[in-house]
Amino acid sequence: MKHIFLNLKRFDIPKTEGGVNAIAPAAEWGSFIVKGTQDGIRKIAEAAGTDTEFVMYLPEAHLIPAVLAKTADSLVKIGCQSVYRDDAAPGHNFGAFTSNRTAKAVRALGCESVLIGHCEERNDKAGILKEAGVTDTAAVNRLLNQEVKRAVEAGLSVLYCIGEKAEEQDRWQEVLREQIETGLDGVDRSSVVIAYEPVWAIGPGKTPPDGAYIKMIADYVKEVSGGMDVVYGGGLKQDNAKMLAEIPSIDGGLIALTRFSGEIGFYPEEYLEIAGLYLGIEQ
């Protein structure tokens, strides 16, 4: 199976407020994206003839309008951006989770998937642990492991992100192995796809890894994980879609921004172009 994931981060913030949203009012943003892509996704999937999963991860406020915008035959799956490490259960805590979104809560809203372990989430958790005086580098992975378990228990599929920072490149194998083995310990891996993020290469002015490097990482991740599906999480774009499609051990990609110059932001028609390029569809 191939996977096209979309992480919309906080792309709903208007440009006047420092964000990148120029496509729709905030209240209509989630539904606008689904309505603007689901017909195109169906056409791409039919033309590709390949079993492909299309998942969109949205900020929580946009989940309900996005789910409601789906047509009966839509191939779009709606997902959220991480979940809390605990959840409600019969005879257990039934809702004392103020400020935290639980897996069962988002599943009830219509979500089918969740993004866990994105480098931005990892940085946030590491910062909190540092303030608490925790120096154990595996602590973040243990917390993420709890999130993955709650997600799978709630019936959500998981896109689990891993990746090494610049200061970790000389020991990338050790870092990725710990993220996989600790983060997915005791997890039903049939519900999980791994996204590789080259954290050291993400950001303005940085050079992305070439195909050989990505293949090396993907081959290693498959070896350590027991053959799990691996997608490129460093940004599936117009200029790397065909290259990534030629790497046998890469099973898809994660799209974020679609335009990196001029009117920077996410644009549905460009998302469809990227998905088509990766799946070999001329548009």
What amino acid is encoded at 7 in this protein?
N
Residue 62 annotated to the active site: no
**Integer Cα distance of 201 and 240 in angstroms:** 14
CA 9 to chain centre: 9
**Integer Cα distance of 264 and 205 in angstroms:** 15
Would you say 63 and 111 are in contact if contact means Cβ atoms under 8 Å apart? Answer: yes
Q: Which of 72, 58, 66 is nearest to 6 (CA)?
A: 58
Tokens of 105: 């809560």
Burial zone of 234 (CB within 10 Å; 0-12 exposed, 13-18 middle, 19+ buried): buried
Tokens of 173: 């194998």
What are the backbone dihedrals phi and psi of residue 191, each rounded to the nearest 5 degrees, phi first? -100, 5
Q: Which of 106, 99, 21, 15 is nearest to 57 (CA)?
A: 106
Query: What's the chain's length in residues?
Result: 283
Q: How far is CA 255 from CA 57, 174, 180, 278, in A?
A: 10, 27, 22, 11
Residue 118 annotated to the active site: yes
Instruction: Please pick, among 53, 147, 164, 197, the residue that the annotation labels catalytic.
Output: 197
State which H helix or E strand residue 6 sits in.
strand 2-7
Tokens of 271: 């998302």
Instruction: Please pick, among 3, 53, 62, 118, the residue that the annotation labels catalytic.
Output: 118
**Integer Cα distance of 215 and 210 in angstroms:** 9
For helices 139-153 and 119-131, the axis angle rounded to 10 degrees is 130
Catalytic residues: 118, 197
